[in-house]
Structures are given as C-alpha cells and as structure tokens.
Amino acid sequence: MLQLSEAQRRSVFAGLRVMADRLDQMEGWLGKGGTQGGGARWIEDVGQGERNALLAQIAEARRFLEAALGQLGHPPESVSVFQRCQAALGLGWEDSLDLKARRLRNYGPLSEAAAVELDELGDTLAEHFQRMRRTLGVPR
C-alpha cells in the first residue's frame, strides 16, 4: 500500500472517482447513438468497430482504477441507484424552478406573455420530476 497522508489519500481517491465517472459517462454516450433528448439529437458518428474497442478499453481502464483503489486500501464504493436517482430528480426539480418568471426577472424585464409561458414550462417540468420521484418511491 502506498504511504500517503489521509489528505493525499482522499485527493487521489477523489481523482480516481472522477475518472471512473468519466468512463461511466462515455459508456452511456456510446450506448446512446441516434437517440434524442434534452434538446440534442445524438449523432451516430462512432463506428461499431470503434465503439466495441472503446467499450473494451473502458472496461480495462475501470479494472485498472479498481485495482488502484485496492492499492490505496479503499474498498469498492457501494452506489445506490435509488439515492443517485433521488438526487438527480431533486436537482432536476430545482432546475425547473429556474425557468419560472420570478427567477428570470432577476436578469431583466420579462413580458407577461413570456412569463406565463415560462411558468407553465417550469410547472410542467417540475411535475414530471415530482411524478418520477413518486414512482421511485422508497428504498428497498
């Protein structure tokens, strides 16, 4: 095991965790090709051969990261899908409030028509996030 101070160990762990999250993100992008959502249409511009090679390399990098965590004496992290979803849904709900006229007026004047339309947009999105939170329910 490497001889590091606790602060150094936490810093290295945090860096490895961020890199692992990047790998997870790329893995998700590679599986998304051609779908739409979030104001973006994903363009299928990575060939199947490259996609398969990248996914294999991501898996290899992930194994290396896990081994590095072991060398640091850090056990594998247990990640609750429920907690991650709850957090994402809570933040999404908060983000929907930023679309409301009350908040947007902080950036300058807003016509009444725009205010009504944006409030409806924010309310509708907030309800979508709240409905998903209700669907998620309580942890198992």
> Dihedral angle at the C-alpha atoms of 99, 103, 104, 108, nearest 10 degrees?
180
- Joined together, the tokens standing for residue 18 give 């961020």
- Cβ(105)–Cβ(51) below 8 Å: no
> What 8-state DSSP symbol labels residue 39?
T
Strand (E) positions, 1-140?
A: 36-37, 40-41
Rg of the Cα trace of the chain?
21
> What 8-state DSSP symbol labels residue 77?
P
pLDDT digits (tens, 9 = 90+) for 69-113: 888 877 777 888 899 899 999 999 999 999 999 999 999 999 999
Computed over every residue of the chain, the mean pLDDT equals: 88
Query: Model pTM greater than 0.75?
Result: no
> Binning pLDDT at 50, 70 and 90, where does residue 35 land?
low
pLDDT of residue 137: 87
5-9, 26-30, 44-48, 107-111 — which one is most confidently predicted on average? 107-111
> Binning pLDDT at 50, 70 and 90, where does residue 125 land?
very high
Pairing state of beta strands 36-37 and 40-41? antiparallel
User: Which region holds residue 100: left if phi is over 0, alpha if psi is between -120 and 50, else beta?
Assistant: beta
pLDDT digits (tens, 9 = 90+) for 40-64: 777 888 899 999 999 999 999 999 9
CA nearest 75: which of 32, 13, 2, 134? 13
- Alpha carbons within 13 angstroms on the beta-carbon side of residue 79 total 9
pLDDT exceeding 70 applies to what percent of the chain? Answer: 92
pLDDT of residue 139: 64
